[in-house]
Amino acid sequence: MIKVRNIPNLITTTRILGTIVLVFIKPFSQAFFIIYFICGISDVLDGMIARKMNLVSKNGQILDSIADFFMVIVLLFIFMFNFKFPLLVVYWVVIIAVIRLASLSVGFIRYKQITFLHTYANKLTGMALFCLPFIYIGLGLHTATILVCFIASISAVEELIINIVSKKLCRDIKSIFSL
């Protein structure tokens, strides 16, 4: 029997398993988009259910961040190998990744733990990355990638600044203006 307090973590685990499945199925096929959609919905539902049912936990937050990180990495690889991105975009993605790693390093040095933050900008970045295939259809690859990279750049820099200047770790900080 599944305990109620484990439901958000079970949903998050579904996203991790779905992300693994994405690696093994044909990109942008019907099956791909079904699993992709389930992963996206689970990302919204796990936190919402945890907050509504007062089941928020530090372990749940960390699991959610790991699932998000894992999904972003898998999607980046799938997108990078299936879209013909300009070299400038590839460099831009690498710079964003370096800023993210610097932020994680600063956070780990300061707080002795993983410091993925749940800022509005990070949530917007996740949503933009998730919507990339659909934005691509509507706006074209060039505009879609510039939009997603721009949002991701802002959130990466914001997270780094928060990890540098905040007095204590608060994973649910809304933005740099919440300091």
The per-residue pLDDT for range 154-170, each reduced to its tens digit, is 999 999 999 999 999 99
pLDDT score for 51: 87
Q: Are residues 98 and 178 in the same domain?
A: yes
Can you state the percent helix, strand and coil of the chain, rounding each to 5?
80, 0, 20
Q: Are residues 55 and 89 in the same domain?
A: no
* Domain termination site, one of 57, 82, 107: 82
Higher pLDDT, 85 or 149: 149
* Domain termination site, one of 50, 66, 82: 82
Structural domains in the chain (count): 2
Give the DSSP letter of residue 5: G
Q: Is 1 helix (H, G, I), strand (E, B) or coil?
A: coil
Q: Are residues 55 and 12 in the same domain?
A: yes
Q: What is the mean predicted confidence (pLDDT) over 116-126? A: 93
CA angle, 173 as apex, 167 and 176 as ends, to 5°? 75
Q: Are residues 59 and 132 in the same domain?
A: no
Q: How confident is the model at residue 4 (pLDDT cuts 50, 70, 90)?
A: low
Q: Which of 30, 126, 26 is nearest to 76 (CA)?
A: 126
pLDDT score for 2: 57
* Domain termination site, one of 82, 111, 145: 82
Q: Are residues 55 and 117 in the same domain?
A: no
Query: pTM of the entire structure?
Result: 0.86
Q: What is the mean predicted confidence (pLDDT) over 162-179? A: 93
Q: Are residues 104 and 167 in the same domain?
A: yes
What is the average pLDDT score of the chain?
Answer: 92
Q: Which of 147, 141, 156, 143 is nearest to 95 (CA)?
A: 156
Q: Are residues 89 and 6 in the same domain?
A: no
Q: Are residues 65 and 97 in the same domain?
A: no
* Pair 63, 12: CB distance under 8 Å: yes
Domain carrying residue 19? 1-82
Q: Are residues 99 and 175 in the same domain?
A: yes
Angle between the N-to-C axes of helices 7-24 and 58-82, in degrees from 0 to 180, rounded to the nearest 10: 20
Q: What is the pLDDT of residues 39-53, one digit of tens each?
A: 999 988 998 998 899
